[in-house]
Structure 1
Amino acid sequence: MSGALTPALGLYQPGASLLHRAPAGAKLAGLALLAVGVLRITAVTTLGMVFGATLAAAALAGLPWRVWLAQLLPVCWFALPLLVFQWVTAGQHRAFMVVGQLVVLVSLAALVTLTTRVSAMLDAFEVALGPLRRIGVSPSRVALVLALTVRCVPMVAQTYAETREAQRARGLERSPVALVVPLVIRLLKKADAIGEALSARGLDD
C-alpha cells in the first residue's frame, strides 16, 4: 500500500547520505526529540548554532538548495510580521526566539521530509501504532493520516512559493487576490489528485 502512494505524495530527494540511509522511525523520533529541545532553548546564539547545524546537515545530505529554500520561504513571509508583533508586544529577545524557533523547527522537518520516502514513514508509523490493533484501530489507516499530514505541510509550502513566484512574474506582488485565488486553486487540484490516488487504491472508505 505505502509504496504505491510514494510517487503521488512524496517530496523525497534521492540520495545516498547517512541521513537518507537512516531508518525512518529513528528520524521521526529524533525530530520529535529535537523539537522539544528547540522549544526549550532560551539563548538566541544557541538557536543560531542549531540552525547552522541544520544547514550543514542539509549540505551533507546533498539536498538541492532551491528545494531546501522552497520549504523555508513561505515561513519567512509569515515570520516577518510575527517578528514585528512579538518585538512590539514582548520585546526584542522574545521576538527573535519565537521566530527563530519556528524557522529551526520547519528546517528540521524539511530535513526529514526531503530525505525520507513516504512509504518508509508509513511503515514506521504502522510499527509504532501496532498495539492499537488490540482496541480495534487500524494502524495502517492512522499511519496514512499521519504520513499525509507530514507530507502536506511541505507541499503547501512549496505550492505557496510557486504561486508567489508566478505572482511576481506577472507584476502583481501587491495584489492579495492574485496570490490567494491561484493558491487555493492549486491546493484544491493537488487535494483532488491525492484523493484520486487514494480512491484508486481502495483507501477512500
Structure 2
Amino acid sequence: MLTLTSPVDTAAHRLPAGVKLAALSLWTLLLFQLASPLPLTLALFAVAGVHLGLGGAAFAAHGARMVRPLWPFVLIVSLWHGWTGDLAGGAVVILRMLAAVAAANLVTMTTRLSDMVAVIERLARPLARLGLSPRRLALALALVVRFIPVMLDRMDRITDAWRARSPRPARWRVLVPATLAALDDADHAADALRARGGAD
C-alpha cells in the first residue's frame, strides 16, 4: 500500500527524486504553454516513448494502466466540449491532462516514497517558522500521491464486483463500500507508520 514503485528496474529509478520532481514541474509548465492539439499529441507520444525506452513494453503497459482511471474525466470533458461545439478545446484539455498525469505516474513509478518525502520535507522547511511540521506535511503529500491511484483501482474492483452480482448499474451504491475500504486502508497505513516510528 505504501509504494507504487515499479518492479521493472530502469535508469530513472537511479535518478535523484529532486531532479525528477523538478523535471516534472518544468514539463507541466511546458504543457500549459501548448495550446493546440498537435503539439500536445506529440508531447503525449513523447511521454509514451520515454516509458518504452526506459523499461520496454511491460513498463509502458503498467504506465498505461495507471492512466486508465482518467476515463470518466475524459468522457465528461468530451461530452461538454462536444455539446458546446469546441472540440479542439476539449482535445487540448484531454491531451494536456493525459500527458501531465502520465509524466507524474512515471515519477511515481520510479521514485521511492521515502525519497519523495525527503524532497518535500526539504522544500517545506521554511514553513517550520509558522509552526508547521515539514515532516508531517511531506508525508501527507506523499501519501496523497500514492493513495489516489490505489483508491481509483479499488473503486474499479468494487464496481466490477457489483456488476458480477447485479444487472443494475452500480452508481452511488459503491460509495459506502469504497468509503469503508478507504478508511480500512488509512487504518492499515497508520498502523504501518506507527510501527516504523510515526511521522516525527
What residue identity is the alignment partner of 1:45? L
Equivalent-residue separation in structure 2 for 1:168 and 1:39 (angstroms): 39
| Paired AA for residue 188 in structure 1 | L
CA distance in 2, matches of 1:183, 1:64: 28
Residue aligning to 2:38: 45
Give the partner amino acid of 2:72: W
1:113 to 90, 108, 118: 108
Select 1:190's aligned residue among 185, 188, 192. 185
Q: Are positions 1:164 and 2:159 aligned together?
A: yes
The one-letter code sitting in structure 1 at the alignment partner of 2:4 is: L
How large is the RMSD of aligned CA atoms in angstroms? Answer: 2.5
Q: Is contact 1:12–1:115 with CA below 8 Å preserved after alignment?
A: yes
Q: Under a length normalisation based on structure 1, what TM-score does the superposition of the two structures give?
A: 0.83
**Equivalenced residues, count:** 198
Picking from 124, 128, 137, the partner of 2:123 is 128
Residues 70-121 of structure 1 show CA distances to partners (whole Å, capped at 9, x for unaligned) of: 3222211221122111222361111111122122221111111111110110
Q: Which moved more, 1:83-92 or 1:163-172?
A: 163-172
User: For 1:82, which of 58, 71, 77 is the aligned residue?
Assistant: 77
How big is each residue's C-alpha offset from its partner over 1:127-156, in whole Å with a ceiling of 9 and x where there is no partner?
223344455543222211221122122222
SS at match of 1:190: helix
Amino acid in structure 2 at the alignment position of 1:29: A
C-alpha offsets along residues 36-68 of structure 1, whole Å, 9 cap, x if unaligned?
A: 211221110111111111112222332545532
User: Structure 2: where are the runs of 5+ without partners?
Assistant: none
Are the counterparts in 2 of residues 125 and 143 from structure 1 also a CA contact under 8 Å?
A: yes
1:98 aligns with 2:89: no
Which residue does the alignment assign to 1:56? 49
Contact 1:110 1:154 in 2 (8 A): no
Does the 8 Å CA contact 2:37/2:92 hold for their aligned counterparts? Answer: yes
Q: Which of 149, 153, 178 is matched with 2:148 structurally?
A: 153
Q: Identify the residue that residue 16 of structure 1 maps to in structure 2.
A: 9
Contact in 2 for aligned 1:70/1:158 (Cα 8 Å): no
